[in-house]
């Protein structure tokens, strides 16, 4: 399934150089590169029950598959300060669901203590990318020189401070768009601006101008309105507001609301 594992692809890249190798000097080097097959992001996922963080990798195939429940098979090993992630294959499901889509997966690595870890990301038996993962109090940073077969979107991810909440509202028509605006106005009255420094925060990115861009992991299909706020005080007012708009007799809203405390 993962085409980059075929040795024939590597041989095609090497064969044109073989005649010159007989007379080449020892210092001549042949570099073979492999096109990316996956997009990869550092990601700190929040538990839906209590919001506790778990660091890992968000993986998305560049190839599109017939349905949206193809499975990326992987394994993770941690020994003596070294993290090894293996992408083994992309497999088809027993029963297809949904339309054409990329294969996606969150690969959990764990709650890592601050420090620097040796890191390896392998694709089958053909490619092994090696580097380091540095864990700080406020962020994770990856160093992976000349990666093969993968395209890292973000090599630095900031940790979120407690109290943040974010999510989206489905707005398929004008009526729900209007209700979504009403909800957001009331949400602003019981929350505050998050005042985040520009950067990538797993579920979203804050640009230098303050624009909020949701990550593909939290961006559903169809028209939506994304929100990012900070919860002040007890969650009861937020829970009541969500109940009011989700259960409205007319134009009930589909609202996804996550937070550093869990899902609401």
The answer to whether residues 252 and 175 touch, using CB atoms and an 8 Å cutoff, is no
pLDDT of residue 146: 86
| Nearest residue to 135 (alpha-carbon basis) of 151, 153, 154, 159 | 159
Q: How far apart are CA 176 and CA 37, in angstroms?
A: 38
Q: How far apart are CA 120 and CA 77, in angstroms?
A: 10
pLDDT of residue 228: 96
Boundary (domain end) residue, out of 158, 181, 215: 158
| Shared domain check, 79 and 46 | yes
| Shared domain check, 228 and 139 | no
pLDDT of residue 217: 80
| Nearest residue to 102 (alpha-carbon basis) of 70, 146, 136, 57 | 70
The answer to whether residues 150 and 123 touch, using CB atoms and an 8 Å cutoff, is yes
| pLDDT per residue as tens, the chain (264 positions) | 454 433 333 333 433 433 444 433 444 433 345 667 899 999 999 999 999 999 999 999 999 999 989 999 999 999 988 999 999 989 999 999 889 999 999 999 998 999 999 999 999 888 999 999 999 999 999 999 988 999 999 999 999 999 999 999 999 999 999 999 999 999 999 999 998 999 999 999 999 888 899 998 876 677 899 999 999 889 999 999 999 999 998 889 999 999 999 999
The structural domain count of the chain equals 2
| Shared domain check, 227 and 132 | no
| Shared domain check, 179 and 113 | no
Q: Which residues contact residue 236 at a Cβ distance below 8 angstroms, ignoring those fewer than 6 apart?
A: none
Q: Is residue 61 part of a domain?
A: yes
| Shared domain check, 186 and 148 | no
The answer to whether residues 53 and 262 touch, using CB atoms and an 8 Å cutoff, is no
Q: How far apart are CA 188 and CA 101, in angstroms?
A: 35
Q: Is residue 231 part of a domain?
A: yes
Q: How far apart are CA 94 and CA 89, in angstroms?
A: 16
pLDDT of residue 13: 41
Q: Mapping DSSP to helix (H, G, I), strand (E, B) and coil, where does residue 244 land?
A: helix
Strands 255-259 and 164-170: antiparallel
pLDDT of residue 12: 37
Domain housing 223: 164-259
Rounded to two decimals, what is the model's pTM? 0.82
């Amino acid at each position: 399934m993962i085409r980059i594992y075929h040795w024939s692809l590597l041989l095609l890249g090497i064969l044109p150089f073989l005649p010159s190798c007989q007379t080449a000097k020892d210092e001549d080097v042949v570099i073979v590169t492999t096109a990316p097959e996956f997009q990869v992001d550092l990601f700190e996922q929040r538990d839906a029950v209590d919001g506790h963080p778990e660091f890992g990798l968000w993986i998305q195939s560049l190839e599109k598959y017939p349905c949206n429940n193809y499975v990326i098979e992987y394994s993770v090993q941690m020994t003596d300060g070294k993290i090894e992630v293996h992408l083994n294959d992309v497999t088809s499901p027993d029963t297809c669901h949904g339309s054409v889509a990329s294969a996606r997966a969150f690969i959990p690595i764990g709650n890592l203590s601050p420090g620097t870890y040796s890191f390896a990301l392998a694709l089958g038996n053909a490619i092994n990318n090696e580097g380091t993962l540095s864990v700080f109090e406020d962020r994770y940073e990856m160093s992976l020189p000349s990666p093969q077969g993968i395209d890292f979107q973000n090599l630095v991810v900031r940790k979120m401070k407690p109290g943040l909440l974010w999510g989206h509202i489905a707005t398929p028509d004008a009526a729900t768009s209007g209700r979504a605006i009403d909800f957001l106005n009331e949400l602003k009255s019981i929350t505050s601006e998050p005042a985040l420094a520009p950067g990538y925060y797993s579920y979203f990115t804050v640009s230098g101008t303050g624009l909020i861009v949701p990550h593909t992991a939290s961006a559903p299909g169809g028209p939506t309105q994304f929100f990012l706020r900070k919860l002040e005080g007890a969650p009861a007012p937020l829970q009541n507001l969500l109940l009011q708009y989700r259960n409205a007799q007319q134009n009930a809203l589909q609202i996804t609301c996550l937070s550093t405390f869990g899902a609401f």
